[in-house]
Structures are given as C-alpha cells and as structure tokens.
Amino acid sequence: MALSDADSIRSTASVVAYDLMSYYTGNRTGDVPGNLPSPYYWWEAGAMFGEMVEYWYYTGDTTYNDEVKQALLHQVGDDKDYMPRNQSKSLGNDDQVFWAFSAMTAAELKFEDPGDGQPSWLSLAQAVFNEQASRWDDATCGGGLRWQIFTFNAGYDYKNAVSNGGFFQLAARLARYTQNQTYVDWAEKTWEWYAGTPLLETDNWQVNDGSSTQKNCSDASQLQWTYNYGVFLAGNAYLYNYTGDAKYMDRIDGLLNSTLERFFPDKMGGVMVEVTCEPLGNCNNDQPAFKAFLTRWLVLTAQLVPEVYDRIFEYLRKSAAGAAGQCSGGELGRHCGREWNSTVWDGTSGVGEQMSALAIIQAMMLDTTELAAPVGATTGGTSKGDPSAGTGTSGTTGSNGMPAVNTDKITTGDKAGAGILTAVGMAREMGLVTAGWLQDGMHSVDRVIDVFVSSEKFAFIVFFRLSYHSLQDFLFSSISEALENEKPIVGDIDGSNVCWKERHVIGRSHTSDRRREVGGVETVGKKIIRHNTIHTSTMPPRLDLLSRASLCRPTAPHSSVASLLQPFLKSAQQPQQQRNASILSSLSDNSGAYNKKIRRGRGPSSGKGKTSGRGHKGQKAHGKVPRNFNGGQTPEEVVHGVRGFENQHSIEMTPLNINRLQAWIDAGRLDPNQPITLRELAKSRCIHGIKDGIKLLARSSEKLTTPVDIVVSRASASAIAAIEAAGGKVTTRYYTKPSISRVRRGETDPIYSIQSAEPTTPRPEFKYRLPDPASRKDIEYYRDPAHRGYLSHMLQEGQGPSLFFKTPGQGRVDHKKVTSKGAKSAIKGENRVW
C-alpha cells in the first residue's frame, strides 16, 4: 500500500473491510442482525458497525451501508436505548456506550437517517446518555459508573476506565452536537471524579484500568490499555473544539504525550503496540480490537484539534505501513495479524485484528483527501434529537433544559420485587420454576403457589413448588414488605377469600397476629377495592394463606414486566453470550485432560462395584495395608538399607530467562532505567517465589533489545554475554533466605553490603544490613570476575578468585634455605587461608 496514493489506500481498505464483514453472519437467513458469532461479544459488534460507518465516510463505498443500518437499528431494544432483551446477561455500561458511539458517529458523519417510525441516530445516543446518567453512583467511591448494569453480572463491584470514559466522551460529543451546556457539566463532573481517584494519575498522565467498590476505589488496577487513553483523549478534544477552553488543551497534551510514549515505543519502531498483552502473546478475544479504538479516537483528535495533527499522524503513518504488511496471512494471503512492528504475518487473525488494521489503513485517507470534520446540529447535522429519550418521558425536558432523568424513588415494593426476582433467578437455575410468566386466569392449584405483587412500578406472577419451604418463607416475607404501606389492593371476590396486607414477616407459626382489610369495600363487577379499615384477626393456616395470596390480581397490565423478567427465561429468539469479568472464570481444562475419578463401592454400575476392585478375601480386601508391608517379615529398607541421601547443603535457584525479562520491560512492568533487583522482579510478578536466589539464564537471548542493569544471585555465561552485548550490566551478589525476605519487604538494601565495591553507611529506611558470604565456596564464586561477582574488586592484579593459591609471579620460597624459626612461621602464615 502506498501511503500517499488515495486509490491504493482505498483499494487496501476495501479488501480488509470485506474480510472483516465476512465474520458477520447477522445478514444470513435465520440469524440475528447485529450479532457476531461466538466467541465475539455484543459490544464488539456495535463497535464494528461504527467503524463500517467510518469506512463509508473515508472511501465513499456504500456496499455495506444496508447491513450496517439494519444492524444498528435491529439492536436498539424495546425502549430504543440499546438494551435488547437477549443481551441482559452480558450487558454492561461499556457495552451499551459502544453502540451509542456508533449511533453518534452516524449522526456526526451524516450517515443515512433511519426511516419513519425509527429512532434517530442522535436520539439513540441521548437515550444511552440519559440512562447512564441515572446510574451515576455516589454511594461508593464518591461517584462514577459501575462496569456492569445488573447486580447478577460479574464485575458489578468494579468501576473502570472505559465505562466512565465512555460516558465522559458521549457527554462531550452530545455537547458539541447539540450545543447543550448540561452535557458539558456532566462531562466535567465525570472527569473531576475520575481524576480525583487513583484511576487517573495526572502527574504522569497514567490512566489505570479500574478499581473495586469493595475497597471504595482506594487503589487501582495498573493494567494499561490503549482504548482507556483514547476514550478520554477524544472526549477532551470534543470539549476543546466546542468551548476553546485552554484547560482541555492541557489535558490533551498530557494524555497524548503519555499515549505516544507508552503505546508507540521507539524500540518497536514507533508503531502501536498493546503493551499489556501483545508482547507476551496472551491477548484474549476482546483485546486485539483495542488498537482500533485508539486509532479512531486519535484521528478524531487530529481532526478536532489541528494543532496536534502532525504529531499524531507521524506515528499513525508508521503503524499503517506495519498493519498493511501484516495483512498477508491465512488461506487467501490477506488476513491481518496484530503485531505491526513486523511485516511478516504473525499467525493471528480475527475480528479484532481486522478492525484494528482497517481503522489505521483507512485513516490515511485524511492525508490524501479533503474530508469534512464531524458535524453538529449547527454545522450541517441532520439527525434530530430527543433530549428525554431513555427516560420514559420522551419529548419533555427538565426545567433547566437538561434531558429529563428518571428520579422516581425506590419504594419498599420495588425492593421486595427485586428480592423476588433474585429468588426467581436462583430458583430457575435450580430447576424449581414450574410454570410460565404473566399468564392471565392462572389460579392456585395443588402443589403450586401463585404469587402476585401489585404496585405502581411492576406486577408479575411467579409459580413455585410448595415443597421448598425455605424459598416460600423468603418469597412471602418479601411479599409482606411489598404490600406494606402500598395503595389499595385489587383482587377477585371468591367467597371468604381476602387479600392480606402483612405487617410482619410470615413465619411457620399459624397463630401469629395479622391485620386484615375488611372495611370500606367497593365492588366493581367481580373486583373489589379494599380501603384502609384494619382489624386484627388470627392468621389462617399456611396453605389457606397461600391460596388467598393467589387471589390478588393486577388492576392493569404492565408491559414492562416481560422485558424485566426476560433475562430469566429460556429465549430461543436470539443466541446468548456470557461475558466474564475475569479471565479466571473462563478457564477450563482441555478436552480429555481430566478423567473422572472412579467411585469405588457404589454398585456394579460404577465400574468398580461389588468388591470395589479389592477381590474377594484376604487382608488387602478387609482394610488398608501399608504399601511397603512385606507380610510381617523384615522390611526391605532394613535388610538392604536406604539408597542415596539428601544433600542438606544444596541450593535451589529460581530461574529467570532473558526473554521473560524483555517481555516485562516491553509491558512497562519493569523500568530498565533503574537497577533491577530481586525486589523489582518479585514485585512485578516476573518471578513467583524465590527459593535460595535467582539465576539468570539465556533462553531466547536474541529478543533482548534493552540495556539493563540487573543484580541476581547467579548468572550463566551466555546470559552475561547477551546482557553485555545489549549494552547492559550483570552483577551477581550473595543472599541468604532471611535476607531475601527482608529485601522483598523493603527492610534491607537489595544491592550494597559492607564488602561491596561501593559500601554505604546504614540508611535509616533500612532496618537490617545485607550479609556477605562466609563459606569458601561462596566467597570464591563472588570473587570471580567471570561470574561478575560483586566481590571481584577485592582481587589484586593477577590474583585469582581461589583462596588457596598465591598470586602468580610472586616467586617461590626455598624452604631448604630457611633456617630460622621465625622465617618458617612467616612462610606458614602466608600459606594459610585465614
């Protein structure tokens, strides 16, 4: 691909886009528009279609516009807010905002507007913003959005960069498009909260991945991802373009410098690298796409802030050339890999790799073609907004013009309903649910409870087996709270049956004091409305009460309940995908790696039944026999003795290979500008558990490109040669097990001791002194310059490390000529070790 030729760029982008869309199956008969097949998640599909909108913008190619438009509109959900029912089990705030980004991109680039009866691109983005604004959580960490939306999803107790950065950028983009100051206020609120936590270190502009609400965000995950930087960078670029405020330019400079330094390292040729996983080759299905987002947001920053255009594209051009060179693999010889610092395909491929390559390649069109910047409502934008989208009050605004946010208070009934829903989900997983949902005319039948809760917010029916008493108690205690202090309850008249308003938790006692509404009854057909005349009566038997509870019916249907309960139903409409908050929860054994243990003594069908593999009679069938039991005669180890021995003085070194050392440096987990000691190695988790010391080995030494100063216990000759060939330095020094523990705790200087070449006086921050060797073997090892021992400075010119032999060249003493007693004593003294 020629970077200066628009036709060449357009042609290359067309091939990469075709291969990217070949992964998409939603346009096939019987499949679901907008979904990618497993193992790709829903959020990545939304991001992909946003990139395909940009593909049309850069190249003018309309080949995929129909599929893109169909996908973006099919996944909007019942409430037109990008929360479709089939994605509830994996839907997080970041997932939702990526679809909102795609809708916002369509509005800003004037992509074909949806037809009549469809929500506009702008209103879809506004709906997502309004819903996420209502999820702002001041109860933990002082603010911010949680990663997940639903409490039953792993990651609900995690506040991360991409969710909050996504909300920040979405607010900034809406502010520029709509000229609404309230969006600016929300963006500023998000930035100030994030910058006030350990998640953003403004002294060095490090964007950390996230923090746990269980620790009140007191610390942060140090993982560095490209899209975390890009999402905040682009958001500030939108705000600077809209307001012209210099503070946004200061943020842009800080974030941009940090981004270019971290993810475009000079040692990689200045091309983009996902430093946390790419050098180690352990990126998962999500992470190869992160470079696509950084690229797209860097390009937006260059368009919105022309002052940084040259700085950004100086690096993007190098990455584009590398990405185009990587698109040479697979059966057709054009699948794209992820390591752009090499023009030879690295063997990887997938949606993320194609997205990243397409983003960087098509961005080169800005260098060769005049393209308009993203538009707004006052600069040519045609998408019509709805400031109250997603709030349930479409078409209205607040008193200050702010998009209305649903602020209804959560009632006791709502809390109880949430508890019942949780129990329903648990019961369904255990196989307890025996009937459907929201079926009119269902009455309590033998062995079935028909439970109904009515309030202003929700109404639903749940069916459970009566035999599960503990679950009944939980459900009915929740119903008691739901009915307490609510409005009049409407139910069917059936003889003496009444609807009970509980004041206490229903227990197992059948004589507890209850309050029943019997006065002020208004009859409407077969319906009654009972008002607030309260009388005390004795609680009826449990089953009678349960049947009476089944008579409470809703006054009107609630269409939103079905969508609320949909995550718990077995829906065959669309395929489900489950997202894991941690990679640990998705690990499993390879097929065939685990064999099920034989259960002995569980009958003939167990495979070892009847005699359980012990035969019929004898001592071995009756009980356990020691494996070395020899029938009562003299044991073999007594007759022949035990062979071999265990060397109590042997040492066991923990190995450290050069390729692992370089990978940790590339990932930013080790600083090559500072001496690397066992403390840094252990703290960065480069090694796990130090035994008697660390030995440096030379596996894959050709990968070492960074000069380092490293201090270890031992080092092989080839490792020393490799380090020094790269311009580094190796020092081996003596450690004991106690001193290793003290060094790791920061109680001992990890390098210097009394006999070091640069002895230091005891420093107050260190509690203990680092010991020096006392045995001859250790002294001779660390005196040897070939081992780069720290005691080699003690050798005189021409002297060897051995303590037994004199320095060559000093001459030989003739003992025959020595007669005096004093001279003989002097000779003996010279030949002594100590």
Three-state helix/strand/coil letters over 129-167: HHHHHHCCCCCCCCCCCCCECCCCCCCCCEEEHHHHHHH
pLDDT at 407: 39
Residue 430 DSSP label = T
Query: What are the C-alpha distances in Å from 808 to residues 505, 799, 804, 827?
Result: 96, 7, 12, 16
Segment 326-352 mean pLDDT? 88
Calculate mean pLDDT across residues 354-368: 93
What average pLDDT score do residues 347-368 get? 92
**What is the percent of the chain with per-residue pLDDT over 70, rounded to a whole number?**
72
Reading the block at residue 393, the tokens are 């009050």
Q: How far is CA 709 from CA 266, 677, 693, 695, 729, in A?
A: 20, 9, 17, 15, 5
Residue 549 has pLDDT above 70, yes or no: no
Q: What percent of the chain has pLDDT over 90?
A: 47
Average pLDDT score over residue span 294-320: 94
CA 711, CA 696: separation in Å to the nearest integer?
A: 9
Q: pLDDT at position 711, please?
A: 95
Average pLDDT over residues 438-464: 35
Characterise 807 by phi-psi region: left (phi > 0), alpha (psi -120 to 50), beta (else).
beta
- What pLDDT is recorded for position 560? 44
Q: Which amino acid is at 417?
A: G
**Mean pLDDT along residues 259-274:** 92
Q: Which of 306, 202, 217 minimizes the C-alpha distance to 255?
A: 202
**DSSP β-bridge partners for residue 730:** 710
Averaged pLDDT for residues 804-811: 61
Q: What is the separation, in whole angstroms, between the first and last Cα of the chain? A: 73
Mean pLDDT of 784-812: 79
pLDDT of residue 497: 37
Report the pLDDT averaged over residues 338-344.
86
Judged against a pLDDT cut of 90, whether residue 238 lies above it is answered with yes
d(CA 609, CA 598): 10
How do residues 684-721 score in pLDDT, each as one tens digit? 999 988 989 999 999 988 889 999 999 999 999 999 99
| pLDDT tier at 269, thresholds 50, 70, 90 | confident
Q: CA-based Rg of the chain, rounded to a whole angstrom?
A: 36
Measured from the Cβ of residue 352, the count of other Cβ atoms closer than 10 Å reads 26
| Spatial separation of the C-alpha atoms in residues 745 and 755, rounded to whole Å | 22
Question: Could you tell me which of 166, 170, 174 has the C-alpha nearest to residue 194?
Answer: 166
- How many whole angstroms separate alpha carbon 679 and alpha carbon 696? 15
Higher model confidence: residue 117 or residue 727? 727
Please give the Cα distance from 114 to 95 (Å, whole number).
22
Q: Do 337 and 269 contact (CB within 8 A), yes or no?
A: no
Residue that the structure tokens 């070790």 belong to: 833
487-513 pLDDT per residue, tens: 333 333 333 333 433 333 333 333 333
As a whole number, mean pLDDT of residues 340-351 equals 88
Q: What is the mean pLDDT of residues 19-37?
A: 90
Task: Please state the domain extents for the chain.
Answer: 32-134, 412-568, 654-794
Cα separation, 337 vs 16, in Å, equals: 11
Query: Cα separation of 521 and 531, whole Å?
Result: 6
For residue 622, is pLDDT > 80? no
- For the cut 70, the answer to whether the pLDDT of residue 442 exceeds it is no
Model pLDDT for residues 646-671, shown as the tens digit of each residue: 888 888 999 999 999 999 999 889 99
Q: Which of 198-207, 252-261, 359-368, 751-760 comes out lowest in average pLDDT?
A: 751-760
Beta strand extents in 13-166 (DSSP E only): 158-160
Tokens 């607010």 appear where?
A: 171
* Side-chain half-sphere exposure of 490, counting CA atoms within 13 A: 14
Q: What is the DSSP letter of 633?
A: S
Topology of domain 654-794, CATH = Ribosomal Protein L15; Chain: K; domain 2 (3.100.10)
Q: Does the pLDDT at position 113 exceed 50?
A: yes
Mean pLDDT score across all residues of the chain: 77
Kindly tell me if the per-residue pLDDT of 825 is higher than 80.
no
CA atoms within a 13 Å half-sphere pointing along the CA-CB vector of 431: 0
Q: How long a stretch of residues is the chain?
A: 834
